[in-house]
Structure 1
Amino acid sequence: MARFVRWYGSGPLHLLVLIASFALTGYAMVRLFAVRPLEVAVWFVGAAVLHDLILLPLYSLADLSALSVLRHRPADGPALPWINHLRVPAFLSGLLLLVWFPLVFRLAVPYPGDTGLSDSVYLGRWLAITGLLFAGSAVVFALRLRRFRRARRTGGSRSRPGRGGTR
């Protein structure tokens, strides 16, 4: 087993899950390309271009900005990995916006009739969900900070400083 882990880099369960995910992706691709090959190809190329040329630089810039602004904190503070408490809700909020942007920005004409809702409710709901995501992340960070400080006072440290934290 150690030889396999050294050769592959992870356990056999990881390899099995990876093979299963590739098989599922291959099955989905075959099914999609059988129905609408041109539309699927255009969608994949468009998604790759949108992600690599527009979205990746934007969220890399946002991440670097958050790191540079929040890096200037007192040196005596705890070294908890705080950045993921910003990244996760921002990612989830962005993903929700990406999926529902026609409704959020009132660009979808047929949906109000299909859903029975006015198109004026989606922006407020997306903002409310975004606020709840960041508030929940702040509560989790506050609880982790409290636990870290309590462990530091008693002498034992449960947290591993530096992992995913400041650079």
Structure 2
Amino acid sequence: MTEFRRGYGAAPWHLLLLLGCFALTGWIALRLSGEPTAGRMLLWFLGAVIVHDLLLFPVYALVDRTLRAVMGRPDRRSALNHVRVPALASGLLLLVYLPGILGLGGDTYTAATGLIPQPLLARWLAVSAAIFAVSAIVYARRWARLGRSG
């Protein structure tokens, strides 16, 4: 077992999980290959990969480095993860609801849900504020608990 770990670099369950993920991805690709819109889906996927790798990743890596530099050396009371997690959640929500926030596909949204997309921006802002507020409360409680015990 130790030799396997040394040669592979991880535990055997990691390899099994990775093979399962590849099998699932292959099955999904085979299912989608017969779809008439498979070419458009592939184009959207490749576009998303390119936009992420060439634009978004450098931006949020730079923001993370800046946050780490501003906050100094992380210790047990580091607030970095209490900024990262809500920022990630807020960013993902923005990505999901951006077409509605920008007013794109309003007719489709209304037909599917019976609602109008205009309040999506205010709702996204409210949910993001709530996520950051909950994270700040959790951080404050941890800070207070560590202050009493340390």
Both proteins in one fold, TM over 0.5: yes
Q: Name the structure, 1 or 2, with higher relative contact order (CA <8 Å, separation 6+).
A: 1
User: Over aligned residues, Cα RMSD in angstroms?
Assistant: 2.2
Provide the residue aligned with 1:164 in structure 2.
Answer: none
Structure 1 segment 12-161 matched on structure 2, within 5 A = 12-35=12-35, 36-71=37-72, 79-110=76-107, 111-152=109-150
Tell me how far apart the structure 2 counterparts of residues 8 and 151 of structure 1 sit (CA, whole Å): 42
Amino acid at match of 1:62: V
Report the 3-state secondary structure (helix = DSSP H, G, I; strand = E; otherwise coil) of the residue aligned with 2:148: helix
Distance 1:65 1:120 in 2: 34
CA 1:2/1:62 → structure 2, altered by over 3 Å: closer, same or farther? same
Residue identity (%): 43
State the alpha-carbon separation in 2 of the partners of residues 80 and 5 from structure 1. 34
- Deviation of residue 98 (structure 1)? 0.7
Cα deviation for residue 78 of structure 1 reads 5.2
Q: What is the identity, as a one-letter code, of the residue corresponding to 1:133?
A: I
- In the other structure, the counterpart of 1:158 is none
Q: How many residues align?
A: 148
Q: Is the 8 A contact 2:106 2:116 kept in 1?
A: no
Residue 89 of structure 1 deviates from its aligned partner by: 0.9
* Alignment gaps of 5+ in structure 1: 153-167
Counterpart-to-counterpart distance in 2, 1:108 and 1:68 = 41
For residues 6 and 142 of structure 1, what CA distance do their matches in structure 2 show?
Answer: 42
Counterpart CA distance in 1 for 2:115 and 2:99 is 14
Matched residue type, 2:10: S
Q: Which amino acid aligns with 1:29?
A: A
Letter in 2 for 1:88: V
User: Where in structure 2 are there 5+ consecutive unaligned residues?
Assistant: none
State TM-score, norm by structure 2.
0.83
- SS for the counterpart of 1:106 is coil
- 1: distance between equivalents of 2:114 and 2:95? 22
